[in-house]
Chains A and B, each alone.
Chain A
Amino acid sequence: MKTILIQNGQVVNPANKRNSVRVADIFIRDGKIAKIKANLDRPGADIVLNAKGKLVTAGLVDMHVHLREPGREDKETIATASRAAALGGITTILGMPNTNPTIDNQTTVKFVLEKGREAGIVNVLTAGSLTKKMEGHELAEIWEMREAGASMIIDDCAETSGMGLRKLALEYCQTFGMPILTHPEDADLKDGAVMNEGWMATQLGLPGSPTTTEALVVARTIELLRETPTPYHFTHVSTGRSVELIRAAKKSGLPITADTTAHHLLLTDAACANYCTAAKVDPPLRSEADRQQLIAGILDSTLDALISDHAPHLLVEKFVPFAEAAVGITGLETLFALTFSELVKKHKMSLEDFFAKLTINPAKIIRSDRGRIEEGAIADLSIFDPNMEWIIDKNKFASKGRNTPFHGRKVFGKATDVLVGGALMVRKGELQK
C-alpha cells in the first residue's frame, strides 16, 4: 500500500481539547495514520499532498442516507451513493432500511454491507428496521441483525405509533446493547399533511403538519426512556420545541442524542413557495423560529450530529403536483458545503465544534471506530478547501438524484482530496475509481 504524506494542512481534531486546530503534517502508512506532527521529515512518501491553506479532518460520517438498493436501483445504487459521498468528503455512510425488501433480517443486512465492500469507495454501514417490513406490528430479529453488522435500529414512528411496542423495543434492545434511532413523527397528527402547518401552507392551499407531530413523539419517548434508559437517537429534528425537550432530557442525564439536516438548518417552509416540490421533505421544512432554534441547538450541542438525509428520487416523482410529489432531497454532495457556509462562515462556529458534528459524534453514536484523526487510527481523511466558492449544480451530481432545492446556490468549501482506509479515493476533486 502506498505511503501518503499530507503537508502543512490545518489539522482539525475535535477530540484533542488542548490543540484541536493546528498546522501539521500527517504521514499515512498501511492504511493507518502513522504520525501527526508539524514539519514532519518524511522524504520518500509515495504520494505527497500539499494541504497548505486547507482543512484536514477525519473523513465525514453521515449517519442518515437512503441508499435505495436493494429495490430502487433506478433512483440510486450503493455504488452511486458511495461515489457521491466520497465527492462530498464523506467516508462513512449509514444506510436506512426502507428498501425493498426492507432491511429487517441478517440476510439483507449482509447484502448491503457486501455491496458496499464491492463498490469499495467509502464505508457503507446499514441500520435495520425495528419491526418486520417496517410495518410497526412485530419486532424484527434485531439481535441477529446486530451480529450481522447492523449499526443501529430504526424505529420509524410513522408506522409505529403505539407506545406499547416502543417500550418493548427499548427493553429488548437494552438486552444486547443496540442503539435505537427514531424518526419522530405521529402518523395520526400528520394525517395526510404535505408540508409545515402555517401561513405558507394556507397561502398554497395545502394541508399542513403541526410541529406537535414531532414534539409529541419526542416527549412521549423521553418518558419511556426514563424507565428504560438505553442509547436513543432522534433523527432529523425539525422543530424548536423538540430541541427544548431534548436539551432538558439530556440535562437530566438520559442517554439521548440527536441530529438535524442541512436543509432544516438552511431553509424554512418559505422554500415551498410556488409549489416547489424540490423543497418537499419529511419532516417538512418549518418556520424561521424553528430554524433559529435548530441553529441554537447545534451551537450549544443539544444536537450532536449533522446529516444529509440523502433521499434521491426520479424526475417523475418530483415533477408532479406538490401533494403527489415524493419527499426528500439529494444531499450527500452538498452536506459539507451547506453546513460549513451556514455554521462556520455565517455563525462563526468553531472548526472543532463544527467537525465534531460531522465526524466523531456521529461515529460514536453509530458505534463506529471511524471519525477520528489520531495516530493509530484508520486513515479515513478528508481535505477541504474552506475558501473555495462554488455554485451547486444538480446536473453535476454523481448521485442519480437531481432533487435539490439548493440548485444554483453559492456555497463555500469543497472536498479536494479524500482518503478511505489510506487509499486516495478523491484527488483534486476527482474520483480516482
Chain B
Amino acid sequence: MTTANLLAELKKTRKAKNLSNLDLISVENITLDDLELILAVARVFKKFITDGAKKCDLLKGKTIVNFFNENSTRTRSSFELAGKHLGADVINLAGSASSGKKGETLGDSARTLDALNADILIIRDANSGAAFQLSSLVRASVVNAGDGWHEHPTQALLELLTLREKFGNKKLTYLFVGDALHSRVFGSQVRLYQKLGFELRLAAPQTLIPKGVENWGVKVFYKIEDALPGCDAIHAIRLQTERAAGKFVATGREYSKNYCLNLPRVALAKKDAVILHAGPVIREFDLRTEVLESPNCLVQQMVENGLPIRMAVEWLLATNKTKKKQPW
C-alpha cells in the first residue's frame, strides 16, 4: 500500500470525523463514536503494516514527545515506533524525580515541555493523575501512557481491537484474575468494558480487590473455579510487585496455586474462551506455559495490535481540526 492509498483509505474510514476530546487521559473521555473511530482507523493502519509497509509521512513536521517518568521499554518503544512510522519527529525525555521534589510546580514542568512545541505529549508517570493534571497546562494533546494505579487507555484499546478480531461486536462474559487494585490497565479496561455492556467478573483475594469495584458492574469471586464457567475471555493481571503488591498475598507460591491460569482451569470456561495478558507475563505464576502457548492465547496478537492502535490515536489527535486553547 502506498502512502497515497493509505491516506485515501484513512479518509474514507474517518469520514471527516474527529475525536470528541483533544487529550486521551481516561477511557471515561472516550465516547462510543470515538471508540469505533479509533478501532476503524487502527484497522487501516494494521493492514498497511501487515502488507509489508512501515513508514508513511502522514505526520511529517509534527513533533511527538515521549515524557516517561517511570521505567518503560515496551510501551515507550511502541509509542516511539508509532510516531516514527507516521513520519513525525519523536523525542524521548526521561524524568527521574518528580517536579515537586525539584522545587518545580506541575505548571513549571508543563511550560518547559510546551516550549518544545510538541503536537502530542505521551506521558508515563508513577503518580495517578499526572497526565490529567498536565493536560490542562499544555497546548499539546496529551496521551496517558500509564499513571500510577489509575489508567492506561491505549492498552485497553489494543486489547479491545484484539477481542473484536476474534468475537466481533459480541457482548462478552469477561473475567479478570488477580491484582486489580494496583493495575492501571484494569482501570482502563473495566471502564471500557462497562461502557460496552460486557458481563464483568473478577477473581482475586480480598486484599487485591479495589473498594467499590461493584460500581463498575464487576461481580467478585474469591475462587477462580467459581468465576470461570461461561467466560468468553480471561485476562490474567500481573501481580504488581514493583508497586508493593507483594505483601498483599502470602507468597507467590500460594498465589499461583490459587489463581494461576492452568489448563484444567481454562477448561472450566467456554470452549473457545481466549486468554489475555497485558505483558510482561510471569510464566508459571500468572499463566502456565502450556496456557500461554495454547492457540486460544491472544497475548502475541495484543502486542502486535499495540502499534496500529497507537498510530491511530496519534494520527487522530495530531490531525484534529480543533486545537487546544493556550493554557497560560
Contacts and interface: CB of A to CB of B under 8 A. Distances in A.
Asked if A and B are interacting partners, one says: yes
Interface of A: 197-199, 201-208, 274-275, 315-317, 319-325
Given A204-B128, A205-B148, A206-B128, A321 B212 contact: no
A253 B213 CA distance: 42
A207 B150 CA distance: 11
Contact of B100 (A197, A201, A202, A321): A321
B98 A324 contact: yes
Given A205-B151, A205-B187, A323-B148, 9 more contacts: A199-B212, A204-B129, A205-B128, A206-B129, A206-B149, A206-B150, A207-B149, A320-B106, A321-B129
Given A199-B215, A202-B210, A205-B151, A322 B103 contact: no
Contact of A322 (B104, B127, B211, B215): B127
Contacts of A321: 98, 100, 106, 125, 127-130, 133
A199 B148 CA distance: 17
Interface in B229-274: none
Interface in B137-151: 147-151
Interface in B95-130: 98-101, 103-107, 125, 127-130
Contacts of A204: 128-129, 150
B184 interface: yes
Contact of B127 (A199, A202, A319, A324): A324
B13 to A, nearest CB: 33
Given A316-B100, A320-B99, A321-B133, A205 B212 contact: no
Nearest to B213: A202
Contacts of B130: 321
Contact of A275 (B99, B100, B101, B133): B133
Contacts of B222: none
B158 to A, nearest CB: 20
5 tightest A-B contacts by CB? A205-B150, A199-B212, A320-B100, A321-B127, A275-B129
Interface string B292-322: 0000000000000000000000000000000
B132 interface: yes
Nearest to B127: A321
A275 B98 contact: no
Contacts of A315: 105
Given A199-B215, A206-B148, A320 B98 contact: yes
A321 B147 CA distance: 11
Nearest to A321: B127
Interface in B34-87: none
A208 B100 contact: no
A275 B187 contact: no
A368 B91 CA distance: 64
Interface in B212-226: 212-213, 215
A320 B105 contact: yes
B211 A323 contact: no
A274 B211 CA distance: 18
A201 B211 CA distance: 8
Given A205-B151, A206-B148, A316-B103, A323 B127 contact: yes
B107 A205 contact: no
A322 B130 CA distance: 8
A319 B107 contact: yes
A185 B255 CA distance: 31
A140 B120 CA distance: 56
Contacts of B104: 316
A389 B148 CA distance: 42
B99 to A, nearest CB: 6
Contacts of A198: 211-212
A317 B98 CA distance: 12
A274 B128 CA distance: 10
A167 B105 CA distance: 43
9 contacts: A199-B211, A203-B212, A274-B132, A320-B99, A320-B105, A321-B98, A321-B133, A322-B128, A323-B128
Contact of B105 (A199, A208, A319): A319
B70 to A, nearest CB: 12
A274 to B, nearest CB: 7
Contacts of B147: 205
B142 to A, nearest CB: 14
Contacts of B132: 274-275
A324 B100 contact: yes
A167 B187 CA distance: 45
Nearest to A277: B133
Nearest to B247: A191
Nearest to A318: B105
Contacts of B148: 205-206, 323
A202 B100 CA distance: 24
Nearest to B184: A205
A203 B150 CA distance: 7
Nearest to A316: B105
A322 B133 CA distance: 9
Contacts of B213: 202
Contacts of A199: 211-212, 215
Contacts of A323: 127-128, 148
Given A275-B129, A316-B103, A205 B215 contact: no
A418 B197 CA distance: 61
Nearest to A202: B210
B98 A322 contact: no
Contacts of B210: 202
A343 to B, nearest CB: 30
B156 to A, nearest CB: 14
Contact of A319 (B106, B125, B212): B106
A323 B243 CA distance: 14
Contacts of A322: 127-129, 133
Nearest to B104: A316
A324 B211 CA distance: 22
Nearest to B100: A320
